[in-house]
Amino acid sequence: MPATTTTFSHVYPQGTRVNERGRLEIGGCDAIELAREFGTPAYVVAEDDLRARARAFVETLAARHADYDVLFASKAFPCTAVYRVLAEEGLSCDVASGGELALALKAGLHPRRLYLHGNAKSETELRQALDTGVGHIVLDSFDDFERLERACAELDRRQEVLIRVTPDVAGDTHQAMSTGQADSKFGFTMDQAPTAIEEISEYIDAVVSAAHELLPRGPETRLLLEPGRALVANSTVTLYTVETVKRNVSTWVAVDGGMSDNLRPMLYGSVYEGLIADRPLAAANERCRLAGKHCESGDVIIRDVALADPTPGDIVVTPVTGAYGHALANNYNGVPRPPVIFCRDGSARVVVRRETLDDLAGRDL
């Protein structure tokens, strides 16, 4: 069978194709072989896709604006290999907790390239950020001002800050994902912003980068973009093994993962696609519900997906799982979290190993 690159929806990573054996290939690696070698469920990342998206952001901004930076919103895929690849492509990084800060540092990012976000930063997190010398702390509330001022005074530090302003624009999205409306737990309202900016100069003798953010756009204005999903989502697919196929009112195709590796359908009603890895071009002749293995009726990964004769043992692929998949993974029902596998030019390497049963009890005393 001739290999093809043209049949896939844009949601698959760049370079995805059907190989000579008629199987799906990600980053040059045969999905069935990956499942055999690394087990399922598994997050499979096409490294070149990740790099290409990072480069596209940088090149697009560089062509339009002199002073800019692209920040990887690392909440979307907080794993050291991803931080490292995106840093190699020249990106800075947004961290939203002490944990993400630690991961970014462990990945080797320069602290000056880090921006600490968070609507409920603790004193410990603020001190951790000051101690490591992060480039910017993003103030999100008047409480942040007080705490940071105190911490700066105690540690005898100065800190560059930004302030987060919610622009009073509601996103056309699920309400659980909308952050820009006035009634939000994030940031200052437009009305509060001038006071917040004044307080920065009163309270903290720091560079008021935030003021520049509010100035009319000009060549001297620094422009920061902070993409999460747009950078990492499409780089990754999840491989599952079909465990059971049950036909009642619907056809229930149940796999060996679910809401422990992809919480988004349950949290936000996110819609996914899927196909069977060893016959991606076969007629998808049966409408199915792709169900997870967890003890919740709501644990359905795809509510309506057409699959080609789904059978136990099949490897099902769901694309666009790079954002908030690994990030939101959990151990519900004692299911170990999946590995992250990077694929490039036909070589695969594990960058996060699968959790073991011992890991599950690892914190129990």
Ligand X SMILES: Cc1ncc(COP(=O)(O)O)c(C=O)c1O
Tell me the closest approach of the beta carbon of residue 179 to ligand X, in angstroms.
Answer: 6
With respect to ligand X, which residue has the nearer C-beta, 230 or 281? 230
Cα–Cα distance measured from residue 171 to residue 191, given in angstroms and rounded to the nearest whole number: 19
- Helix 47-62 and helix 80-88, axial crossing angle in degrees, nearest 10: 40
Which position's Cβ is nearest ligand X?
228
Closest CA to 117 of 133, 105, 134: 134
CB-based contacts of 35: which residues, under 8 Å, 6+ apart? 42, 239, 241, 277, 315
**Where does this chain bind ligand X (CB under 6 A)?**
73, 75-76, 94, 117, 179, 226-230, 323
Tell me the closest approach of the beta carbon of residue 28 to ligand X, in angstroms.
Answer: 27
Q: Cβ(42)–Cβ(339) under 8 Å?
A: yes
Tell me the closest approach of the beta carbon of residue 53 to ligand X, in angstroms.
Answer: 12
Q: What is the number of other CB atoms lying within 10 angstroms of the CB of residue 28? A: 17
Name the active-site residue from 79, 288, 295, 343.
Answer: 295
What is the number of alpha carbons within 13 Å of residue 163 lying toward its C-beta?
Answer: 30
Tell me the closest approach of the beta carbon of residue 234 to ligand X, in angstroms.
Answer: 12
Compute the Cα dihedral for 38, 339, 336, 310 and give only its sign. negative
Residue 152 is among the residues annotated as catalytic for this protein: no
- Extract the runs of DSSP E, i.e. beta strands, from 22-67: 24-26, 29-30, 42-46
With respect to ligand X, which residue has the nearer C-beta, 231 or 254? 231
Tell me the closest approach of the beta carbon of residue 96 to ligand X, in angstroms.
Answer: 7
With respect to ligand X, which residue has the nearer C-beta, 222 or 354? 222
Closest CA to 43 of 355, 361, 363, 282: 355
With respect to ligand X, which residue has the nearer C-beta, 171 or 312? 171
With respect to ligand X, which residue has the nearer C-beta, 271 or 295? 271
Instruction: Copy the structure tokens of residue 333.
Output: 């029902």
Please report, as a single letter, which amino acid is at residue 34: L
With respect to ligand X, which residue has the nearer C-beta, 305 or 329? 329
Q: Would you call the peptide bond into 167 cis, given omega within 30 degrees of 0 as the criterion?
A: no
Tell me the closest approach of the beta carbon of residue 221 to ligand X, in angstroms.
Answer: 19
Count helices and strands in the chain by DSSP H and E runs: 11, 18
Please report, as a single letter, which amino acid is at residue 64: R
Closest CA to 355 of 330, 335, 337, 341: 337
Task: For tokens 């057409």, name the residue.
Answer: 306
Q: Which residues belong to the active site?
A: 295
